[in-house]
Structure 1
């Protein structure tokens, strides 16, 4: 408040971390509202005919009688594509997500938005590799140290992977006191519970483990309520269990969200980079007559070997891969990025949605512009994630599922000073053809964790296909996605939903993910639309 009194809107330049704030300035006669640069803390609003209503939860907005409870079909279209709803819209008509890195004035019934921070994408090679490593260490240690400031106990989410191990190592260097760490797993041989426990022992931390079991899927309706909007990613279940367990011991946790996004840690980053190289250097005849023919003839079980994901690609996944390959020669990085993360394609949605619902959707058949086909630098590609992937999916999940248990989740990799530095680094410090998170691996190697430097990324695999055939998830599917219930809602084609239910039984991970996303939507719809 005192900073705002002194500097007005310029106070935002001096804030570091996560926030969503509203200040009623009775001197100037304005309402000043702002959200942090990354969109870590959620903020929603409704504006109509001079009425402005804002809250950190959609549930709170709905307590106002003026806020309608009607479905935004354009956002439903986006949800089916992405498994989350990208801002600024929501699944409710008229409700908006307050954009990250923006502030707003409300005066005399009018609102005006302005962006105060943009992720920089100018890559520099002025620093030597050694200088870059030293600077990274300074900023990373500072980011974790700042996020230890608390009057209540602070703990760490520790997965056993690079990101959380780096946070734990940094905290250990700065704070010579016992810490509590928390991990979640599934009891299968590929999860990283043992690696997390070993890291905790090495650092002298008190470690706690949580097992996610098939019976825990009974919590999904409760999770749907806390999320405010559906998130069709099964990771919400183990994250909810992890946050619940941590809240019994600490009030604040540091977590590794954002590291993959800033350092090219996802498989999709590799695919987009490979697609860019492929589109530029592989001749069209070889593409059609060689690569496509070979991929089409190869059984799905052999294609599984190309991916580091434990689940089965299945025939539906193979078809999606062929579709992606077919677009490599006539699309640019932005299109590749969208296709890689898409859950339901346009063809899928034409089968899934009722004709009257389809009429309400926005037309996606936009002409391809030359600007969309241009090459992107790695930093430009990573910066795409600030539009909605980070604030509306990755960071939203963490905030909603921790705050459901009154636990505060803090994300040092999303410190904006560190983010600006990482985006400025040349690609060789982040993602190469054969490695990712390069500078983070080098930092771990130099800080007593050499075994992590060459550690392969292990996907956080939820055995969703198994859960779907077991109780209580089997009954939840049968209840929420029954032919009668789907028919009564009038949004989806009951026959197509029934086909997905049959397909998800042992026919690959894609159909299982699609079915789970529909379940989360139907749970949300009944809770928030009252239908």
Structure 2
């Protein structure tokens, strides 16, 4: 079973062509046919979408048509009423008629919007503020082809885009393809809160919203804590529909525990929670999930992922994503969603977003330590640096060695410093990649994209700039893609209460110290939840959703056979040197299984994706 949600189509104001064959080619890229979608066709193009995930509407008098994928909500009472009566696309057309591009100020929630105005020869593409939905597009001459799948855009007969070498490099650097790039040459994707206007020439992109950071005059701490709790409850209420069987992912961390607890509160019954475990030391966090479940009296469901499960999951992941995707936690996410589906759940609530808007990632505190270095007087740094870095036998003296390491890292300015541990910085690129491949790519592109997001932040504070970067890279480009696609593959719909617009805007009213202060993470977030969450959950250190792939790889023969076959094939593609692949295998086998297992997974998924898409 699948809940595949697809929006795709094209517009050409100069050539009057409507082709069901072209539409069929786009849909086939995502395993769908013409019978699976609703189609709007005119002499300038076609738009198709799966129902009920999408709504479409046409305003014949104004020469406009719109399609909306997702579940937006409307602050305007009139637009809410129109959406309830005729669908979100009809409300979008009314807002367009009244406000033009400013209609995006009237839309909240998750959405991907296509609006075509034949009278003014304009097409508006937009995605929601946090990037839950996505839109990709390519311009070929006077035609604009679009979809929420980059692969579908690439398969349109006027596009026929090949896989991009640049994107493959970015994938190996970031473990996904960061926006605005996609896996296909000439195909772009929108960033969170971005729109594009097409009028026959190159689409003009702009951000229609940016999180404001203004902590002046916001009230007492106690008032803020109460507001946070009220907004969080409201956010869960917005995503809960008593007509649909709803559950929650529960990892045992503060985010998923908060969502699970609030689900029980707003529904008035025991929340149905779904948790994943691993029978591998250091990876299993089920005990924390059980603490939360007992605390709230939840109906807890658990599943232990095994190495055998990965044999099923690895090719499934490669086929499911329209771009190569290397986040290994996609596998447990799939099995958790599958378990929910098997228990009759149609909608599952996920806790993603708390880290990126309330200060939950450990690197925020760690990087703050390095920033202290730049607050020291320049004269003092110039005096101490030569003494420390040139200290005789310094590498053999622990305090001196640590000081040297600190200075080396502190010298690198943010956001580049966060990539100092990247796999592709461990060895010279000439030893990793084949010469022809390396000559064809811009190796600085991933850092340039990170710098753009970091410095585009409206706040000058380092913590908030890092969070702004994580919103784009960690959340929108990575975690949301992981969860939404794996839930679709498992046959359930996922919703993200902590990305509620009101809650996100509230985060901008907090000071940086109410997010991270002296190494303490999520300061106000956790203070507000004391008494609601178990004390053990509040005190728990961040763990993440790791997968013991590297450990299992040493002991599970079928998994090793799948991996060896994929790496052998990848070594023949002219991308990564066979000698580097052999080095990774040796390092993995000699005591660094978990660490090198990460890159091996990324490389195997690349090969499996290339097999499915080239």
TM-score (norm 1): 0.86
Query: Are positions 1:6 and 2:101 aligned together?
Result: no
Tell me the alpha carbon deviations over residues 3-33 of structure 1, each in whole angstroms, 9 at most, x when there is no partner. Answer: 2232213332232211112233345443332
Please identify, of 491-500 and 173-182, the stretch whose mean Cα deviation from structure 2 is larger: 173-182
Shift of 1:86: 0.8
Deviations 1:502-528 (A, max 9, x none): 111243243221222111111112211
Residue number in structure 1 paired with 2:557: 471
Q: Which moved more, 1:22-31 or 1:87-96?
A: 22-31
Task: Give me the whole-angstrom Cα distance separating, in 1, the residues matched to 2:404 and 2:128.
Answer: 38
Matched, 1:433 2:518: yes
Q: Paired residue for 2:199? A: 107
Q: Is the 8 A contact 1:122 1:379 kept in 2?
A: no
Q: Aligned pair in 2 of structure 1 residues 69, 148: CA closer, same or farther (>3 Å)?
A: same
The equivalent of 1:66 in structure 2 is: 158
CA distance in 1, matches of 2:237, 2:167: 39
SS in 2 for 1:229: coil
Structure-1 separation of matches of 2:151 and 2:203: 23
Of 450-459 and 284-293, more deviation after overlay is shown by 284-293
- Structure 1 unaligned spans of 5+: 300-317
3-state SS of the aligned residue for 1:71? coil
- CA distances 1:259-295 after superposition (whole Å, capped 9, x unpaired): 1112222222222111112343494666676699899
* Alpha-carbon offset, residue 384 of structure 1: 1.8
Please report how far the alpha carbon of residue 458 of structure 1 lies from its aligned counterpart in structure 2 after TM superposition: 2.9
Alignment of 1:20-419 (within 5 A): 20-26=112-118, 28-108=120-200, 111-124=203-216, 126-149=218-241, 151-188=243-280, 190=282, 191-218=284-311, 219-248=313-342, 249-281=344-376, 283=381, 297=396, 325=406, 327-339=408-420, 342-345=422-425, 347-364=427-444, 376-419=461-504
Aligned residues of 1:163 and 1:259 also touching (Cα < 8 A): yes
* Equivalent residue, structure 2, for 1:303: none
Taking the aligned partners of 2:395 and 2:188, their CA distance within structure 1 comes to: 43
Whole-angstrom CA distance in 2 between matches of 1:59 and 1:463: 30
SS, match of residue 273 in structure 2: strand
Q: CA deviation at 1:107?
A: 3.1
Aligned equivalents of 1:188, 1:478: Cα separation in 2: 22
Larger Rg: 1 or 2? 2
Contact 1:275 1:336 in 2 (8 A): no
SS at match of 2:516: coil
**How far, CA to CA, are the matches of 1:106 and 1:151 in structure 2?**
39
Q: Where do 1:457-468 residues align within 5 Å?
A: 457-468=542-553
Contact 2:247-2:271 within 8 A present in 1 as well: yes
> SS in structure 2 opposite 1:19?
strand
Are the aligned partners of 1:167 and 1:256 in contact in 2 as well (CA < 8 Å)? Answer: yes
Q: How many residues align structurally?
A: 504
Kindly indicate whether the alpha-carbon contact (under 8 Å) linking 2:169 and 2:443 is maintained by their aligned counterparts in 1. Answer: no
Q: Which residue of 1 aligns with 2:587?
A: 503
Residue in 2 aligned with 1:19?
A: 111
**Take 2:235 and 2:386, find their aligned partners in 1: how far apart are those partners?**
49
User: Root-mean-square deviation (CA), in Å?
Assistant: 3.1
Tell me the residue number matched to 1:306. Answer: none
Take 1:295 and 1:134, find their aligned partners in 2: how far apart are those partners? 52
Higher strand share: 2
Structure 1 pair 430–57 and aligned structure 2 pair: CA distance change class (3 A): same
For 2:591 and 2:142, the matched residues in 1 are separated by 52
Aligned to 1:491: 575
Deviating more after overlay: 19-28 vs 147-156: 19-28
Question: What is the aligned partner in structure 2 of residue 310 from structure 1?
Answer: none
Q: 1:418 to 1:527 in 2, by over 3 A?
A: same
Say if 1:24 and 1:31, in contact at 8 Å, map to a contact too: yes
Deviation of 1:499 (Å):
0.9
Give the Cα–Cα distance (whole angstroms) in 2 for the partners of residues 525 and 322 of structure 1.
44
Cα deviation, residue 157, structure 1: 0.3
Instruction: Compute the displacement of 1:475 (Å).
Output: 1.0
The change in CA–CA distance for 1:298 and 1:164 in structure 2 (over 3 A counts) is: farther
3-state DSSP class of the match of 1:145? helix
Shift of 1:76: 2.4
3-state SS, counterpart of residue 121 of structure 1:
coil
Structure 2: runs of 5+ lacking an equivalent: 1-88
Alignment CA distance shift 1:497-1:448 (3 Å): closer
- Assess, with a 3 A threshold, how the Cα gap between structure 1 residues 392 and 162 changes in structure 2: closer, same or farther: same
- Offset from partner CA, 1:210-238 (integer Å, 9 cap, x none): 11111111120111111222222221111
CA–CA separation in structure 1 for the residues paired with 2:542 and 2:470: 20
CA drift of 1:356 comes to: 0.9
Q: Taking structure 1 as reference, are residues 332 and 13 closer, same or farther at Cα in structure 2, changes over 3 Å only?
A: same
The alignment's TM-score, normalised by the length of structure 2, stands at: 0.75
Compute the displacement of 1:474 (Å). 0.8
**Alpha-carbon distance in structure 2 between the residues aligned to 1:288 and 1:505:** 39
In the alignment, the residues of structure 1 paired with residue 609 and residue 383 of structure 2 have an alpha-carbon distance, to the nearest angstrom, of: 48
User: Are residues 29 and 66 of structure 1, via their aligned partners in 2, closer, same or farther at CA, if it must alter by over 3 Å?
Assistant: closer
Query: What's the secondary structure of 2:203's corresponding residue?
Result: strand
Q: CA deviation at 1:189?
A: 5.3
Q: Give secondary structure in 2 for the equivalent of 1:20.
A: strand
Pair 352,324 (structure 1): closer, same or farther in 2 beyond 3 Å = farther
